[in-house]
Structure formats: C-alpha cells, structure tokens
C-alpha cells in the first residue's frame, strides 16, 4: 500500500492506551530491519529520518526505499522527518512523499516558533500530511548540565496548551526528562508534569530520547499519555556493535552483505522488542483496510 498519514493509527494507539514506535533509519538495511520486524509483529510503524540523514543518504533514495517497503508489506507505514528546523526542507520532504513532518522551532523565541509551526501546519494539512511540534527543549545527553538547568528546559503544561491551540499541530513532543543520545546520568521522567500536560492537551504526546530509559518508565509514560516513542540511538548501538564483532572475529571480512546482513538482524531484534514494549504489536489488524 502507499505510505499513509500516521495520525489515524497514532489516535488508535491513544484510544487503546498503547504507543506507536517510530524508528530513525539511515540506510537500506535499517529500513528493511524496521519494516520486516513491524510486518512480522503486525504493527503500524513510523519510519523517520533526520535532516542529517537526508543529507547523508539523499532524500530521493530514502523516500524511494520507504515507498517500496510500504508497497511490499500489508501494514500501515508512515514516513516522517524528525527535528526539521527548516521550512524549505519540510517542503522538499512533502514533495518526496513524506506523510508526516516534525517542525522544530525550539531554538526560536516563542512567537517566532509559533509563527513557523503555524505556517508548516497550513501547508501540511492542505496536502494531508501530519505535523508534530515540540515545546520545551529535548536536548542532548551531554555532560555538565545540572538538574536545575535541565528542568528549566522542560515543557510547561499551560504553555503546551497555548502552543497546541495557537499552531494546530497534530501531535506534541514533550520535554519531561529525556535527552537525545547516550545518557551520562540515570534518566528520571517527570510523570507529574506529563499528567499535568495530558490534562490540558488532547493531541497525542510524543516521547523523544527514550533510548536508555528503563522499560518500566516507558510503560508508565505510555499509561500517562505518550502515544509515540522515538527510537534512534538504541538502533545505532547494536548495529555498530554487530559490525565491530564481525570484524573482530574475521578482520579480513570484506563483503558488505555479511557485515551489513548481520547488523540488520541485530537491529531487527531491537525493533521487535521495542514494538512489543510499546504494545502496538497486532494493532495493524485492528485498522480498517489492514484486517
């Protein structure tokens, strides 16, 4: 089937109290790993790329691969651009068949952020594409930041409501204690804040930086209203480790089908585990057109 707007299945997940797993991909093998595991688990899935990946792989290559994947499998697959700061890149993504976009204006002053997101929402909605916004700052897992400094960047519930009302975003990424990359501290999620945001905001909420957060906290976050979970670093690590291991055992290995094939299988296992953790396995069978 063609790529789909993910909002319908994200809302289905919200209704059921589960979450959709969204995976950052970088090349053919990671795309295959994600869609194969999702198809085996009968899970609707979001395949996503950062603007950096578009630069690395080429937007035409990436979008073509994911479109082919959607045609090959009988599950709903969406293609999403993650943390895109540029209106121009959003337009390029939509022209290349992306069905969902995240506009990240979090570096901008509030009013400018709202204006940019509003402009993206108008464009995206006119062509049936979903929009994820972010309020608060989900930073990197860098060293040397105090808890107070981190908390200062967390999403303020009242501001989240005002932001969603002002922009019309379909989903909202919230900063409640996670960070991107590999944690140098034990991540602690602010569940009270999540519940306060949930009370004020109806749109499905998104959790970024979930790699390294323990399974119980993920489950609690889903129960507290998180409907989409982004997974990036947790796919990169098994991929790199598997390739390292291949070369450790056989330093003269030179066939990419061997080391990339092994890496793909390792990534697939993590994808499968994350889908089950999110509780969206089998959800495709509950969606019209996929039963």
Residue 272 interacts with Zn ion (CB under 5 A): yes or no: no
Task: Please report how close the Cβ of residue 262 comes to Zn ion at its closest, in angstroms.
Answer: 28
| 230 to 22, 49, 144, 233: CA distances (angstroms) | 5, 11, 25, 9
Task: Give 48 or 96: the residue with its C-beta nearer to Zn ion.
Answer: 48
**82 an active-site residue?**
yes
- Name the residue with tokens 């999110």: 278
Q: Is 129 helix (H, G, I), strand (E, B) or coil?
A: coil
Q: What is the C-alpha to C-alpha distance for residues 182 and 40, in angstroms, rounded to an integer?
A: 29
Residue 236 interacts with Zn ion (CB under 5 A): yes or no: no
154 is written with which tokens? Answer: 């967390």
Task: Give 99 or 211: the residue with its C-beta nearer to Zn ion.
Answer: 211
Task: Please report how close the Cβ of residue 180 comes to Zn ion at its closest, in angstroms.
Answer: 5
Q: Is 239 helix (H, G, I), strand (E, B) or coil?
A: helix
Task: Give 208 or 236: the residue with its C-beta nearer to Zn ion.
Answer: 208
Q: What is the C-alpha to C-alpha distance for residues 260 and 24, in angstroms, rounded to an integer?
A: 17
Residue 208 interacts with Zn ion (CB under 5 A): yes or no: yes
Instruction: Tell me which residues in 103-162 interact with Zn ion (CB under 5 A).
Output: none
Candidate segments 62-70, 208-216, 234-242, 274-282, binder of Zn ion by CB under 5 A: 208-216
Catalytic residue among 74, 82, 143, 165: 82
| 259 to 186, 241, 250: CA distances (angstroms) | 32, 11, 10
Closest CA to 9 of 170, 123, 136, 167: 170
Taking the alpha carbons at both ends of the chain, their separation in whole angstroms is 13
Task: Please report how close the Cβ of residue 111 comes to Zn ion at its closest, in angstroms.
Answer: 23
Task: Please report how close the Cβ of residue 247 comes to Zn ion at its closest, in angstroms.
Answer: 30
Candidate segments 6-14, 115-123, 147-155, 201-209, binder of Zn ion by CB under 5 A: 201-209
Phi and psi at residue 135, in whole multiples of 5°? -130, 140
- Name the residue with tokens 């098994």: 238
Task: Please report how close the Cβ of residue 118 comes to Zn ion at its closest, in angstroms.
Answer: 21
Candidate segments 57-65, 163-171, 206-214, 269-277, binder of Zn ion by CB under 5 A: 206-214
Candidate segments 118-126, 156-164, 185-193, 205-213, binder of Zn ion by CB under 5 A: 205-213
Give the per-residue contact string, 17-56, with Zn ion (x = CB under 5 A; - = no): ----------------------------------------
Closest CA to 46 of 106, 102, 90, 91: 102
Residues belonging to the active site: 82
| Site for Zn ion, rule CB under 5 A | 208
């Amino acid at each position: 089937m063609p790529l789909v707007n993910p909002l319908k299945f994200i809302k289905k997940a919200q209704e059921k109290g589960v979450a959709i797993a969204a995976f950052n991909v970088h090349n053919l093998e990671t795309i295959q790993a994600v869609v194969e595991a999702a198809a085996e688990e009968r899970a609707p899935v979001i395949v996503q790329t950062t603007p950096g990946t578009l630069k690395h792989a080429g937007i035409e290559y990436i979008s073509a691969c994911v479109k082919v994947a959607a045609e090959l499998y009988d599950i709903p697959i969406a293609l999403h651009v993650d943390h895109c700061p540029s209106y121009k890149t959003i337009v390029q993504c939509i022209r290349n068949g992306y069905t969902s976009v995240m506009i990240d204006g979090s570096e901008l002053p509030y009013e400018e952020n709202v204006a940019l997101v509003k402009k993206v929402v108008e464009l995206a909605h006119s062509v049936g594409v979903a929009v994820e916004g972010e309020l608060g700052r989900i930073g990197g897992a860098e060293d040397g930041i105090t808890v107070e400094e981190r908390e200062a960047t967390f999403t303020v519930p009242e501001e989240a409501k005002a932001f969603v009302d002002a922009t019309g975003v379909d989903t909202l990424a919230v900063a409640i204690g996670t960070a991107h990359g590999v944690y140098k501290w034990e991540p602690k999620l602010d569940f009270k804040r999540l519940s306060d945001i949930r009370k004020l905001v109806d749109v499905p909420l998104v959790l970024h930086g979930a790699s390294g957060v323990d399974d119980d906290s993920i489950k609690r976050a889903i129960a507290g209203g998180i409907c989409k979970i982004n997974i990036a670093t947790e796919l990169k690590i098994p991929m790199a480790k598997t390739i390292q291991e291949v070369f450790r055992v056989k330093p003269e290995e030179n066939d990419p089908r061997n080391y990339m094939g092994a890496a793909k299988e390792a990534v697939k296992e993590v994808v499968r585990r994350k889908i089950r953790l999110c509780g969206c396995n089998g959800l495709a069978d509950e969606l019209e057109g996929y039963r």
